[in-house]
Amino acid sequence: MSASKRLFALAVVVVLAGCAAEGPLHKDISASIPAVPAGKGRVYFYRTNTMFGGAITSDITMNGRVVGRSVRGSFFYVDENPGDCKASASTEVEREVSFTLSPGETKYIRSTVSMGALVGRVNLELVSPGDATSQMAQLHYTGTPLTVR
């Protein structure tokens, strides 16, 4: 393989893999995460540490406002008023998930990357609490800084 081909292959790997998130691990800070405020619901957003499409990122909006970013290997949460909710992410197309949120309830949304025409697409899906908490243990927190307890 020529040097130029090796360089191209390396570039492809870098683009596909991207950079993982930085921040404390969920398992190290879970005790510092405050309880859901009274009258609110909580939504966790996370993305597992998979290589495919790792360089693809997207803002995540919830009910029309940007609340964070989909980054490989990261999670954050948002406390929201109960009711109908819509979360979305967009690259070349916008993908949305709609769900209801009750007071005191916690929901989990996982973002994944799928193949697109020109760039990868970031998809959002609801995940059961059991699956989500086990998948988030090794992910990095990218939300607002927490007060260590």
Partner 1 sequence: MKFTYALLLALVVGCASEIQRTPTQFKASTDAAMFLLASDVTVKPTLGYPARLRGGSTWVHVGQVPEGPVYAIKDDVFMVRGRNAHEAQCVISDGGKLIGFFLPVERAFVPVDPQVQLHIDRK
**Beta carbon nearer to partner 1, 107 or 140:** 107
From the list 65, 85, 78, the residue with the least C-alpha distance to 37 is: 78
Report in angstroms how near the CB of residue 125 gets to partner 1 at its nearest.
5
**Beta carbon nearer to partner 1, 24 or 116:** 116
**Beta carbon nearer to partner 1, 28 or 131:** 131
CA distances from 22 to 48, 71, 138, 141 (A): 13, 10, 12, 8
For 52-70, letters b (16+ CB in 10 Å) and e give ebbebbbebbbeeeebbbb
Report in angstroms how near the CB of residue 135 gets to partner 1 at its nearest.
14
Report in angstroms how near the CB of residue 145 gets to partner 1 at its nearest.
29
Q: Which residues bind partner 1 (CB under 8 A)?
A: 84-86, 93, 95-100, 107-108, 114-117, 121, 123-129
Q: Using the structure block, give the residue that is written with the tokens 């190290």.
A: 28
